[in-house]
Amino acid sequence: MPHRANRSEKESDMTTKIQTVLMTGKTHTTASRRDGAARREDRVDIRMSTPGKAGNEIALEAIPLHPTAEQLFAGAWSACYTGALGVAAKAKKVALPRDMSVDVEVDLGQTGDAYFIQARIDVRMPGVALDLAQAIAHAAHEMCPYSKAVHGNIDVATNVIAEETLAA
């Protein structure tokens, strides 16, 4: 059974709560990041949802689409944070599961006349003990440049989902 832990990475009361969410950029990043696709050094393939579209998914593959800033930020943060998870896990001598994933949602919102962003991060580490998965997720935030850049500036909620392996 999956075990969940919610932990807010917000350490400061300086962040402002969003009253109205105007749009959300969402990304899903897997441990391999490539899902078996051939890698081309001069190209990046990004798949993300588009607010208000049927099917709610677009793929950026050699087509000059215009993703939102929230989608791009979520995608860059997700890729960087996933890499940091790998470094943190290696430092703890833990192999990340192949089905490990990170979902980042970045909201653009408004409070009064001011605009703000906030984020939610879901980290899935099936087969890793919850306390260990939480420690890896926290260590990754400590080293990821995107996590460090937003620390104390925006509201960030990190949800770690792990499924402990049952002993035989």
| pLDDT tens track for 32-59 | 544 434 334 444 455 555 555 556 555 5
Q: Are 20 and 110 in contact (CB under 8 A)?
A: yes
Tell me the three state secondary structure of residue 136: helix
User: Residue 60 falls within a domain, yes or no?
Assistant: no
How many domains would you assign to the chain?
1
Q: Which domain holds residue 119?
A: 3-33+68-163
- Residue 159's DSSP bridge partners are 6, 122
Does residue 60 or residue 25 have the better pLDDT? Answer: 25
Residue 19 confidence (pLDDT) above 90: yes
Mean pLDDT along residues 149-161:
93
Task: Quote the pLDDT of residue 20.
Answer: 93
- Domain with residue 149: its CATH number is 3.30.300.20
| In a domain? residue 144 | yes
| Residues paired with residue 29 on neighbouring β-strands, in sequence order | 102
Top pLDDT among 55 and 119 is at: 119
Q: How far is residue 83 from each of residues 7, 32, 118, 137, measured CA to CA in Å? A: 20, 10, 21, 11
C-beta separation of 81 from 122 below 8 A: no
Residue type, 152: G
d(CA 98, CA 34): 12
* Residue 135 within any structural domain of the chain: yes
Instruction: Report pTM.
Output: 0.72
Three-state SS for 73? helix
